[in-house]
Structure 1
């Protein structure tokens, strides 16, 4: 069983629309590199966002910051986190396995419908997981612009040139 199989299963069971992004998505797209955390973009419709929070809570994952998980479902609260705290993701950790971390974007980094429509169904264990398309990952990583992101962009471009999937 993979480190995040239970997260994918919980999102599926709760009918949470989501897309895997970040380093894990780069690895799932075919680039071998170390990564530990799982970055996801979830549907931020209030009811869907609440289901996502409940799914993570049900797995025993805890937010790194002291918040009521219902606050994540409130667009105005999320906007204040972005404006006042410069928050990009809400991080969850597993108290039983500290290396396990799930980062949930508090705002859409790209148009969500485009992100989900372009997501590549990727087999992970016994389920299919929606992984951001390489061109979407490149777009997101250009905005982030950290050295690791620039390396990922180069790797993703090489994969695209070799015709290694969308």
Structure 2
């Protein structure tokens, strides 16, 4: 039986494909794929628009594939780089984040293809990049998600890659709390893993 999330992802994929725009799934739905037990209604994706594609063309493409904009305010999109939609067939909210240069380019390079259900595979932010995003968000629920992903992924999580990215962010943001936040979550995850 198809799921509403799979229906939404199939339609968003078709919409992005129609304008040749690469994208990836992130947020709570991606975290679930990496072992986080979480209830969430929304779906978050990041899209990189081709040079000749405007926000208006993106909206048209997604509208043709069953999405309705939730916020018609162009200033909101300019301020936040987020285009909120609702998927007509399922009623699920979709937040489309417009990628910028820099770190998000690396996230695109490292995105992996994951099978959601039989016959539907979508690009998903790597688990390491999901951890970086969660560290940056810094909310208590994000910290818990890091612990859950690290525990579920075990040794498959490349902690060194996470620290490298966080170190670059610390230097760019003049912060010194990102790597310690990750290390604390990783230590908690290791304590939570069952011993064989």
Normalised to the residue count of structure 1, the TM-score between the two structures is 0.74
What CA distance in whole angstroms lies between the structure 1 residues aligned with 2:32 and 2:53?
27
* Matched residue count: 152
Higher radius of gyration, 1 or 2: 2
Q: Which moved more, 1:42-51 or 1:123-132?
A: 42-51
Stretches of structure 2 that go unaligned for 5 or more consecutive residues are 162-196
Of Structure 1 and Structure 2, the greater helix share is in 2
5+ residue gaps, structure 1: 72-76
On the 8 A contact 1:18/1:40 being kept in 2, the answer is yes
Of residues 102, 105, 110 in structure 2, which corresponds to 1:113?
Answer: 105
| Structure 2 counterpart of 1:8 | 13
Deviations 1:119-146 (A, max 9, x none): 1110123132110011111111122222
CA distance in structure 1 between the partners assigned to 2:65 and 2:23 by the alignment: 17
Q: Is 1:57 aligned with 2:50?
A: no
- Please report the TM-score for the alignment, with normalisation by the length of structure 2: 0.64
Q: Give the superposed CA RMSD.
A: 2.9
Q: CA deviation at 1:147?
A: 2.3
